[in-house]
């Protein structure tokens, strides 16, 4: 068992998948010789060769299209999109072909592809490097969307994604890549792809979040605990499908819900969660649902990212508003 960062746990999982299954192939821009822009694939081409870990041209549409063809012929492809804002050329192939292949062929072909990409801001990069665009994938039937928030979760969920017969979008919170270390046992065990995780139990309010925002949400819960306010913190983990039962059970217990995400507010995934709670648990609510989100604007450059990304104070204020009712 080693204490590793989130990006190191991804490397561990990829190494395990390559070692265990000769059909696993990695492709992407600069993932071979350089080990990827964040070094998630460092050392893997040297260990497994350029046929198993392939550098591609700077062409995201090509990466996605190659992945579909390779997967349809029996390979298990893990493709890296260097930054989430670069994925638009690949979206045509992902939405129109990758997500539909099983249905189009009536089950004769499957598409075991994992598309890995960094998610969210916090590294003070120019535009196209800090996006939180998970809803673009969650809206497409035929895709799973997963976003781990700890090294252990990243390891287990990535192995599960690689072993799944259908395409999985695997979002990696950029800000958490090297934020903390956790003990991870490299035993090849996968985690369920469609279950939320309760990170902290509580009685007064439910906080639902995912990705890097779990960090601020847990900090807010700790601050509120000093005021004798007990928060239950749920890490959604699976963004599609959503583990609605976990959320509804928690809301039935606490009576209050605050949803926290980094993506823009308008049509964000938080709106879908709020709508489901309104439809299925309206009479459990003691106060209106609160959303703490990014703003409906382009992620600003460099130091202004901090003003865009929801902070602990905004989460605490939202919780306090739910308790005023």
List pLDDT tens digits, range 113-134: 999 999 998 887 777 788 899 9
The two tokens of residue 34 are 């350089």
Domain boundaries, the chain: 2-184, 197-323
Identify whether 129 is a catalytic site residue: yes
pLDDT surpassing 90 at residue 111:
yes
Residues forming a β-bridge with 184: 2
**How many residues would you count in the chain?**
325
Sign of CA dihedral 152, 153, 158, 160: positive
Give the per-residue pLDDT at 258: 98
Give the per-residue pLDDT at 300: 81
What is the CATH class of 2-184? Answer: alpha beta
The two tokens of residue 232 are 């239950």
List pLDDT tens digits, range 264-323: 999 999 999 999 999 999 999 999 999 999 999 888 877 788 889 999 999 999 999 999
Give the per-residue pLDDT at 124: 79
- In percent, the amount of the chain with pLDDT more than 70 equals 100
CA distances from 297 to 131, 156, 216, 285 (A): 11, 34, 21, 31
Q: Which residue out of 97, 119, 128, 129 is catalytically annotated?
A: 129
Give CATH for domain 197-323. 3.40.50.920
List pLDDT tens digits, range 156-195: 999 999 999 999 999 999 999 999 999 999 999 999 999 9
Residue 321's SS3 state is helix
Give the per-residue pLDDT at 305: 85
CA atoms within 13 A of residue 192's CA, in its CB half-sphere: 8
Distance CA 85, CA 229 (A): 38
């Amino acid at each position: 068992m080693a204490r590793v960062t989130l990006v190191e746990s991804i490397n561990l999982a990829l190494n395990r998948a390559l070692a265990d299954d000769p059909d696993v192939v990695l492709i992407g821009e600069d993932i071979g010789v350089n080990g990827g822009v964040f070094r998630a694939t460092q050392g893997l081409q040297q260990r497994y060769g350029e046929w198993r870990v392939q550098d591609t041209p700077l062409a995201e549409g090509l990466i996605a299209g190659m992945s579909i063809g390779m997967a349809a012929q029996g390979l298990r492809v893990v493709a890296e999109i260097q930054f989430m804002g670069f994925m638009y050329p690949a979206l045509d192939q992902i939405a129109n072909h990758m997500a539909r292949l099983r249905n189009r062929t009536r089950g004769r072909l499957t598409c075991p592809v994992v598309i890995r990409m960094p998610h969210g801001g916090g590294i003070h990069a120019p535009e196209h490097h800090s996006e939180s665009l998970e809803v673009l994938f969650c809206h497409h039937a035929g895709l799973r969307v997963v976003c781990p928030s700890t090294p252990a979760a990243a390891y287990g969920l990535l192995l599960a994604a690689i072993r799944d017969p259908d395409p999985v979008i695997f979002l990696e919170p950029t800000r958490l890549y090297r934020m903390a270390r956790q003990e991870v046992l490299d035993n090849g065990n996968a985690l369920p792809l469609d279950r939320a995780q309760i990170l902290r139990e509580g009685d007064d309010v439910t906080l639902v979040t995912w990705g890097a925002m779990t960090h601020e949400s847990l900090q807010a819960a700790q601050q509120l605990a000093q005021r004798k306010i007990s928060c239950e913190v749920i890490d959604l983990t699976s963004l599609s499908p959503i583990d609605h039962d976990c959320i509804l059970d928690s809301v039935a217990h606490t009576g209050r819900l605050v949803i926290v995400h980094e993506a823009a507010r308008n049509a964000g995934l938080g709106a879908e969660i709020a709508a489901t709670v309104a439809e299925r648990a309206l009479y459990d609510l003691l106060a209106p649902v609160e959303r703490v989100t990014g703003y409906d604007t382009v992620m600003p450059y460099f130091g202004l990212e901090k003003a865009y990304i929801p902070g602990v104070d905004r989460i605490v204020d939202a919780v306090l508003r739910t308790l005023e009712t």
